[in-house]
Amino acid sequence: MRELVVVGGGPAGMAAAAAAARLGVDVTIVDAAERLGGQYYRQPRVGAAPGRRAAHGLPARYSRLEAEVEVLAGWGVWRAEAEGRQVTLQLVSQQDERPARLSAAAVVLAPGATELALPFPGWDLPGVTTAGAAQALLKGQGQLLGRRVLVGGSGPFLLPVAAALARGGATVVAVVEAAPPRRLAGVAASLAGHPGTLAQALGYLGTLARRRVPLLPGSAVVACEGEGRVERAVIAEVDQGLSARAGGRRLVPVDAVCVSFGFVPRLELVRQLVEPKGELPAGVFLAGEVTGVGGAKVAEHEGALAGAAAAAHLGHRPSRREERAARLLRLRLRHAERLAATLRRAFAPGGGWTGWLEPETLVCRCEDVPFSALAEAVAEGATTARAVRGVTRCGMGYCQGRTCGPALQLAIASLSGADPEEVGDLQSRPVALPLPLGAVAVEPPELAPGAPHR
Amino acid sequence: MSARRPGGAAGRGSGNASGEEAGGGEGRARVEFSFDGRVLSAPPGSTVAAALCANGVQAWRRTRGRGEPRGLFCGIGACFDCLVEHNGRPAVRACVTLLHDGDRVATSSSTGRPSRA
Amino acid sequence: MSAATGPRTDDLPASAQVVIVGAGIIGCFVGAELARAGAEVCVVDRAGPAAGSSSSGEGNLLASDKLPGPDLAFALESLSRWRRLGEELFARIEYREKGGLVVARTEQDWQALSELAERQRRQGLEARPLEGEELWALEPLLDRSVRGAYFYPGDAQVQPMLAVRALVAAIRRHGGRVVAGAEVRAAERGRGGELTALLTTRGRVAVGTHVVNAAGAWAGALSGLLGCPIPVSPRRGHVLVTEPVGSVTEHKVYESGYLGSVHDGDGEGSVSAVVESTAAGTMLLGSSREFVGFERSPSLPVMRAIAARAIALFPGLAGVRLMRGYVGFRPATPDRLPVLGADERAPSVLHATGHEGAGVGLAPATAAAIADLVLGRAPGVDVGAFSAARFAGQAAR
């Protein structure tokens, strides 16, 4: 049995691992990706030419982490259970779908988030991706999705993606931000107390300005068109609630369209651990986006605190100095969390996007479920995500609602006038990742510490 | 056989990043792989999705219902839109599956398959 | 595009001739049957249509797993009623008469299965023995070590949530109401002790002539509130859902050990293989039976056992991926038979519950029997064997 397993090698997970290791805990990080970093600090692919650094890469403070903790890369966690003083994680190798088991006296869950993608006509055309996909392809693989790229959606994530694509050699056609100029001015004002974030934002804006990339606030990509792949995008002005204004539509030629409306925490492992007793078991700690989307800085602060809390739970007492550091960290976290809350409010999508959809626009990309089917189910009285899923198959495909679930939740809320909380989500997943039945059927061996795992 | 690509994306809409900060493996030995019978190559350490994108292929799955083309979407292994057949294994995520020399990659029909007993 | 109107939600009426508690497949089938016959119907549910066990089963319409006698007779009656519902509806509810295949693994199982099948055939159930090449021709991927099987062409399947959806629409078309979010908290009684109204979380509804207890796995608790407790308890089952897959089998295939676990009251925690495809392309794997209350968190050992048993039946499934899993709660009685009809302890109450895993299949016959009782018609279906009186003095476990 391991002492502490950290699920997720992104900013929160790395900070948790580093903090716990500093306090003398034996730490194991498990992550589905091949290298540490998560999405934010994504490292270039294994085997990439040395000397050419991607936009972020691993910060210097984590450069020794791989030597200090055990890193199990390429393992996904499909199930988590707690019993007594032990948490057991069921793993599946991402490259060959082999099962394995990992048990620990304490666990930090830092699984991060997925992107919120709101459907529009043509969003299922090849060449239309999330902003994160374009980012990951560029950072991890040095690869562009297209030459003429349109970046759209809402939120602070659009700027780094657009800037990276521009620096990587793409022609960024425009950055289409749904929030109106007035709200963006408010966001800018709130950055005053956060010089680091402000400098970062100005850097991105400078990159875009130097390349004459237009920023279009109060607008949205409301449709994409093309034969077998995206060739044109339709940009429309939208009001505060995301309803498209009449007229003023522009058709722009593109090779690729990258959209993002923010992030949704990945809750399936948390739910698996909470559901049996209705509370998080002792010895399980949460950090990062899973506690509420706040970005990398908030995630790292939370991770460091979660790592320290896990260490304390395991009986590693912090020194006075470390206690002082933790108090300081809590203050920093509160400060960063205030900005995160401002950003969440400013960029929360309204429900008007359902007005962009045609009846036949697919909401569920796996099972080909059109918007009309959802609207019909809601009109008949199905007002929870689970109920609508049951009669439409929206969210029943390969991704199990990871992509359409949040959109479904928002669409039902928008159509029925209900609160999204009442509508519920589709994140209760007893199987967090698909794996072969042959791998489920056996009780797999515990991964031996120190042994080569790949 | 026809060399047409599922998305009709021949040669357009993609390319290696050329900017100052992109990571890349250019100039080193490339790995060879086949896609629907065509022989292609990609930098070592590529994911299947990146390798296909590098060759101008934007679509490598046909949906089960309508047979529509699909490719990369979320890029981080969550959406299962980029399913591809890899060395005979059906429906694996191209964006998280690593490519190796000699790999056989094929358009996915969006279903799994019973293994041979 | 946006919906022209908000969602259709029915308010609780001040009164209804028949109040049906439970908007699962049973309550909605009873409601539709009565509403079509002109009765004033109100179906109340603490959540909504098909929110309980109706959305967590496979939607099986089986006669193959019924024991000769009243159990099988009732199933045959119900399946013939499903069959008569008509093509137009079938398309909407994914009705498929795909046939069931019961597989015997050992010589001993084969003898027992053959003996059972012969008795079933004498009662009018169509069943055909298959061995060797004939069996491999029907099921090419079936494990070659099985001894033999019986094919039951009449076994069928529906998608139960779609079936409930169609029934809810029918109830409303005939002027009935389906009220969501109305949990029954208490019963109001008149001076003679007769039941006069139900108090729900959405208010009070006066009862005209009857209350139908169609609360499924929760019917035990409800029957207590109604003054006529019956021993119905939740018997948990797991369903594993695979990725969509090219044809493994076109039938519902299960091992004959399943019959033991269905009918054996002591079969606690038992797992036997049930493998079937769905119209959507996924495969559903079962089955397990446990008494663990309403524990919603699936058990990993049970999931493993289901996967292992399914692979033992179809070795090729080892390479098919598990995509989803869930649990459901069967309304179980001590003798594994339903509780149907009047209860002398509470004259206005009619029970329509306790179907365990067979509720979807048995819904049409149940609805016909209950409607006959409500409307005072000559009974078209014999439910004498399913009276609550047989449990006098027994409590739910």
A271 near A382, Cβ under 8 Å? no
Domain boundary (A260, A294, A318) is at: A260
The parent domain of residue A381 ranges over 353-423
CATH number of the structural domain spanning residue A299: 3.50.50.60
Using CB atoms, which chains have 3+ pairs under 8 A with A? B, C
Instruction: Give yes or no: residues C166 and C41 share one domain.
Output: yes
A11 and A40 assigned to the same domain: yes
Q: What is the mean pLDDT of residues C8-19?
A: 93
Residue A94 sits in the same domain as residue A136: no
C-alpha to C-alpha distance for A76 and A94, rounded to whole angstroms: 6
Q: Does A338 lie in the same domain as A317?
A: yes
What is the DSSP-derived secondary structure letter of residue C218? Answer: G
Q: Which two structure tokens, joined as six digits, stand for C35?
A: 């509403």
- For residue C286, the number of C-alpha atoms closer than 13 Å in the C-beta half-sphere is 28
Give per-residue pLDDT as tens, C88-97.
888 889 999 9
CATH number of the domain within which C22 lies: 3.50.50.60
Whether residues C220 and C367 fall in one domain: yes
- pLDDT tens sequence across A409-420: 999 999 999 999
Q: What is the mean pLDDT of chain B?
A: 83
Q: What is the pLDDT of residues C266-321, one digit of tens each?
A: 545 688 999 999 888 999 999 999 999 999 999 999 999 999 999 999 999 999 99
Sorted by sequence, the CB contacts under 8 Å of residue C346 that are 6+ apart come out as C195, C226, C227, C228
How many Cβ pairs closer than 8 A exist between chain B and C? Answer: 42
Residue A81 at interface with chain B, using a CB cutoff of 8 Å:
no
Query: Residue C269's pLDDT is what?
Result: 62
Q: Residues A74, A36: contact at Cβ < 8 Å?
A: no
Asked if the structure places residue A224 within a domain, the reply is yes
Nearest CA in chain B to A127: B58
Please tell me whether residues A123 and A253 are part of one structural domain.
yes
Within this chain, do residues A284 and A247 fall inside the same structural domain, yes or no? Answer: no
In the Cβ-directed half-sphere of A94, how many Cα atoms lie within 13 Å? 24
Min Cα distance C295 → chain A (Å) is: 7
Taken in order C190, C195, C201, C205, the sign of the CA dihedral is negative
The neighbours of chain B, by the rule of 3 or more Cβ pairs under 8 Å, are A, C
Give the three-class secondary structure for C350: strand
- Name, in order, each residue with C-beta under 8 angstroms of C131's C-beta and a sequence gap of 6 or more: C147, C148, C149
Least confident of A392-396, B2-6, C74-78: B2-6
C240 and C146 belong to one structural domain:
yes
Clarify whether residues C147 and C244 are in a common domain. Answer: yes
- pLDDT, averaged across chain A: 94
Is A384 part of any domain?
Answer: yes
Q: Do C2 and A384 touch (CB under 8 A)?
A: no
- Work out how many CB contacts closer than 8 A connect A with C: 134
Counting the structural domains of chain A, the total is: 3
Query: Residue C81: which H helix or E strand, with range?
Result: helix C70-83
Task: Report CB contact under 8 Å: A229, B81.
Answer: no
Helix (H, G, I), strand (E, B) or coil at C139: coil
pLDDT of residue B4 exceeding 60: no
DSSP per position, B18-75: -SSS----TTSPPEEEEETTEEEEE-TT-BHHHHHHHTT----EE-TTT--EE--SSS
CB contact under 8 A, A380 and C168: yes
From the list B112, B115, B117, which residue is nearest C244 (CB)? B112
Mean pLDDT on A60-71:
94
The burial class, CB within 10 Å (0-12 / 13-18 / 19+), for A197 is middle
3-state secondary structure chain A: CEEEEEECCCHHHHHHHHHHHHCCCCEEEEECCCCCCCCCCCCCCCCCCCCCCCCCCCCHHHCCHHHHCEEEECEEEEEEEEECCEEEEEEEECCCCCEEEEEEEEEEECCCEEECCCCCCCCCCCCEEEHHHHHHHHHHHCEECCCEEEEEECCCCHHHHHHHHHHCCCEEEEEEECCCHHHHHHHHHHHHHCHHHHHHHHHHHHHHHHCCCCEEECEEEEEEECCCCCCEEEEEEECCCCCECCCCCEEEECCEEEEECCEEECCHHHHHHHCCCCCCCCCEEECHHHHCCCHHHHHHHHHHHHHHHHHHHCCCCCCHHHHHHHHHHHHHHHHHHHHHHHHHHHHCCCHHHHHHCCCCCEEECCCCEEHHHHHHHHHCCCCCHHHHHHHHCCCCCCCCCCCHHHHHHHHHHHHHCCCHHHHCCCCCCCCCCCEEHHHHCCCCCECCCCCCCC
Say yes or no: C126 and C193 in one domain: no
Dihedral angle of Cα C58, C103, C63, C394, to the nearest 10 degrees: -80
Task: With beta carbons under 8 A apart, name residues in chain C contacting B110.
Answer: 244
What CATH number is associated with residue C304? Answer: 3.30.9.10
CB contact under 8 A, C281 and B117: no
Q: What is the pLDDT of residues A166-213, one digit of tens each?
A: 999 999 999 999 999 999 999 999 999 999 999 999 999 999 999 999
Residues A142 and A182 in one domain: yes
> Are residues C226 and C240 part of one domain?
no
CATH assignment of the domain containing A367: 1.10.10.1100
Q: Nearest-CA distance from C316 to chain A in Å? A: 9
Asked if the structure places residue C4 within a domain, the reply is no
What is the average per-residue pLDDT within C196-203?
Answer: 97
Residues A194, A150, single domain; the answer is yes
Asked whether residue A431 is domain-assigned, the answer is no
Q: Tell me, yes or no, whether C295 lies in a domain.
A: yes
pLDDT score for A360: 97
Q: Are C171 and C297 contained in the same domain?
A: no
Residue that is last in its domain, among A343, A376, A408: A343
A249 and A279: one domain?
A: no
Type of residue found at C137? A
Contacting partners of chain C (3+ CB pairs under 8 A): A, B
- Report whether pLDDT(C348) > 60: yes
**Min Cα–Cα distance to chain B from A146, Å:** 4
Domain presence at residue A281: yes
Q: What percent of chain C has pLDDT over 70?
A: 95
In a domain, A443, yes or no: no
Of A324, A343, A362, which residue sits at a domain end? A343
Q: Show the domain range for C186.
A: 15-56+160-230+335-391
CA distance C234 to C248: 32
Domains and CATH numbers, chain B: 31-106 (3.10.20.30)
Q: Note whether residue A438 is domain-resident.
A: no
Residue ending a domain, among C301, C332, C363, is C332
The answer to whether residue A294 sits within a structural domain is yes
- pLDDT (0 to 100) of residue C397: 52
In this structure, are A247 and A279 located in the same domain? no
- Partner B contacted by A440 (CB < 8 A): no
Residue C344 lies in a domain: yes
Q: Please tell me whether residues A26 and A126 are part of one structural domain.
A: no
* Average pLDDT along chain C: 93
Which pairs count as long-range contacts for A56-63, CB under 8 Å and 24+ apart, including other chains?
A56/A139, A61/A18, A62/A14, A62/A18, A62/A36
- Predicted local distance difference test score (pLDDT) of residue A51: 44
Residues C189 and C320 in one domain: no
Q: Tokens for B60?
A: 């490598």
Which residue has 């925690």 as its token pair?
C269
Q: Is the pLDDT of residue C200 over 50?
A: yes
Query: CA C351, C352, C358, C362 torsion: positive or negative?
Result: positive
d(CA C241, CA A431) in angstroms, rounded, equals 10
| CA trace torsion A394, A396, A401, A405 (10° rounding) | 30
Indicate the residue of A415, A434, A440 with minimum beta-carbon distance to C2: A415
pLDDT confidence of residue A49: 57
| Residue A453 located in a structural domain | no
Give the 3-state secondary structure of residue C195. Answer: strand
pLDDT of residue A32: 96
Asked if residue B99 lies in contact with residue A401, where contact means CB atoms within 8 angstroms, the answer is no
Facing B111 at nearest CB: one of C143, C281, C318 = C281
Average pLDDT over residues C354-374: 97
Residue C66 domain-assigned (yes or no):
no
The answer to whether A92 and A435 have CB atoms below 8 angstroms apart is yes
Q: How far is A144 from chain C (nearest CA, A)?
A: 31
Across C112-133, average pLDDT: 97
Check whether A93 has a pLDDT greater than 80. yes
Distance (Å) of CA B117 to CA A73, A98, A438, A444, C281 = 31, 18, 12, 21, 21
Q: Is residue C93 part of a domain?
A: no
Per-residue pLDDT band for A247 (boundaries 50, 70, 90) equals confident
In which element (H, E) is residue C272 found?
A: strand C270-277
Looking at chain B from residue 13 to 72, which residues have their Cβ under 8 Å from any Cβ of chain A?
A: 13-28, 43-47, 49-50, 53-54, 58-59, 63-66, 68-72
**Tens of pLDDT, residues B55-111:** 999 999 999 988 999 999 999 999 999 999 999 999 999 999 999 999 999 999 999
Contact A126 B7 (CB under 8 A): yes
Asked, for residue C142, whether it belongs to a domain, the answer is yes
Whether residues C322 and C264 share a domain: the answer is yes
**Based on the domain organization, do C135 and C238 belong to the same domain?**
yes
Q: Tell me: pLDDT of A275 over 60.
A: yes
Q: Which residue of C has its CA nearest to A387?
A: C51
pLDDT in the model for residue B6: 39
Looking at the partner chain, which of B26, B45, B70 has a beta carbon nearest the beta carbon of A46? Answer: B45
pLDDT band (50, 70, 90) for residue A248: confident
| pLDDT, mean of residues C350-356 | 98
Claim to verify: residue A6 and residue A106 sit in the same structural domain: yes
Task: Identify the domain boundary among C285, C304, C332.
Answer: C332
pLDDT given for residue C270 in this prediction: 82
Give the pLDDT band (50/70/90) at residue A57. Answer: confident
Answer whether residue C215 is part of any domain: yes
Q: Are residues A395 and A413 in the same domain?
A: yes
User: What is the number of CB-based contacts under 8 A between chain A and chain B?
Assistant: 211
Asked whether residue C76 carries a pLDDT value surpassing 90, the answer given is: yes
In the structure encoding, which two tokens stand for residue A35, read together?
């290298």
Q: How many CB atoms lie within 10 A of CB A139?
A: 27
Chain B residues inside the 8 Å CB shell of C246: 111-114
In a domain, C68, yes or no: no
Please tell me the predicted confidence (pLDDT) of residue C89: 86
Q: How far is B106 from chain A (nearest CA, A)?
A: 16
Cβ within 8 Å of B, A 333-352: none
Q: For C235-256, write each residue's pLDDT tens digit.
A: 999 999 999 998 799 999 999 9
Tokens found for residue C312: 């033992």
Clarify whether residues C205 and C242 are in a common domain.
no
| Token couple for A225 | 């068109």
Task: Calculate how close chain B gets to A94, using CA atoms only, in Å.
Answer: 7
In Å, what is the CA distance from A97 to each residue of A403, A440, B32, B60, C377?
22, 10, 23, 21, 60
The 10s digit of each residue's pLDDT in A279-330 is 999 999 999 999 999 999 999 999 999 999 999 999 999 999 999 999 999 9
- Cβ atoms of residues C55 and C191 within 8 Å: no
Nearest to C211 by CA among C184, C171, C245: C184
Total domain count for chain C?
2
Residue C357 has pLDDT above 50, yes or no: yes
Question: Same domain for C142 and C187?
Answer: no
Q: What tokens were used for C135?
A: 């069996």
Least confident range from A51-60, C120-129, C349-358, C382-391: namely A51-60
What is the nearest CA distance from C245 to chain B, expressed in angstroms? 5
Q: Is the pLDDT of residue A54 over 90?
A: no
Tell which of A35, A95, A229 to mutate to test the B interface (max B CBs under 10 Å). A229
| B21-33: average pLDDT | 64
Q: Is the pLDDT of residue A120 over 60?
A: yes
Partners of C100 in the β-ladder: C152, C252
With contact defined as beta carbons under 8 Å apart, do A39 and A136 qualify?
A: yes
